[in-house]
Amino acid sequence: MANIFKRLLQLFRYGSTLTRLIFINAGVFLTLRIIAVICHLGNIPDWQHAILKYVELPSRPELLAMRPWTILTYMFAQFDVLHIMFNMLWLYWFGAIFLSINTQKRLLALYLFGGIGGGLVYFLAYNTLPALIGINAGLIGASAAVIAIVVATAIMMPDYKVPLLFLGPVSLKWIAIATLAIDFLSITGQNGGGHISHIGGALTGAAFALAMRNGVDITAPFNRIIDKIVNLCRRLKAGSNPPRAKKSAKQSRPTAHAGSVSDQKTLDEILDKIKKSGYTSLTPGERKTLFDVSSRIKQE
């Protein structure tokens, strides 16, 4: 058992951003379920509401004012087994495709942006639409964040095909269109708020992808802030450790910078071709180059 936990800790510590997002969602799910079992055995009344109200996004302004952190926590929390299984499978599949042409930093930022975008659309809908005003509801799950990644990937690589059971290879654009159509038609169902949040996440993903087509990365300001925080933490940590011998600038800086610029230039050229002619226009050699270069860039 100890070896299993050690292995899981290593996977989280050294894994990709995609792996860590899945681990965090799974960890929150297990924590909520364990607390639920304890509350049930302790015969605590209304235990499910008592647990979820601290992580789900409320629809009422006064409750959101009391629990503002829920705009973030809701997108990492699932309570039903099928809910988390479906969300994590979609996150794994589309997250891997997204990372083939984007960095891990953008994946994390888009996940957060998609979750926040979906949460805001959900909150606005419940406080502006006549059919929903006054209803006390709660939003939980990673669906809006995942849909943002799905739509962004489909717009950036519309003709990329994935095999589906009974249907065979299907382009990402049709998967995204079908998903959004189902969400729109399901708004009148029991989980109407959830489907509304999916549309918010989709709009966020579309905004990211369309901006990238025009050479604008809307996640860049967020990532710069995160980089500054990480660099500050590293400096503080380095300050508490004994100084080490520094390498000369001539030995390290030019090589790393030149490689980074060259990789980015190569990636930009291939992405330009994808934008003009689609992913299927790439030759086998260009596809391999795309994978190799994006892998190196994601390690930066």
Residue ending a domain, choose from 184, 213, 242: 213
**Number of domains present in the structure of the chain:** 2
* DSSP element (H, E) containing 206: helix 192-213
Show the domain range for 109.
2-213
- Please give the model's pTM, rounded to 2 decimal places: 0.78
Residue 202 contacts residue 147 (beta carbons within 8 Å) = yes
pLDDT in the model for residue 129: 93
Sign of CA dihedral 111, 144, 128, 184: positive
On whether both 90 and 19 belong to a single domain, the answer is yes
pLDDT in the model for residue 255: 43
On whether both 187 and 105 belong to a single domain, the answer is yes
pLDDT in the model for residue 297: 59
Rounded average pLDDT per 10-residue block, the chain, 300 residues: 71 84 95 91 82 92 95 94 94 93 92 96 95 91 96 93 85 93 91 93 96 92 90 81 52 46 72 66 74 63
pLDDT in the model for residue 285: 75
pLDDT in the model for residue 258: 47
pLDDT in the model for residue 288: 73
pLDDT in the model for residue 29: 95
Amino acid in the structure at residue 231: N
d(CA 145, CA 208) in angstroms, rounded, equals: 13
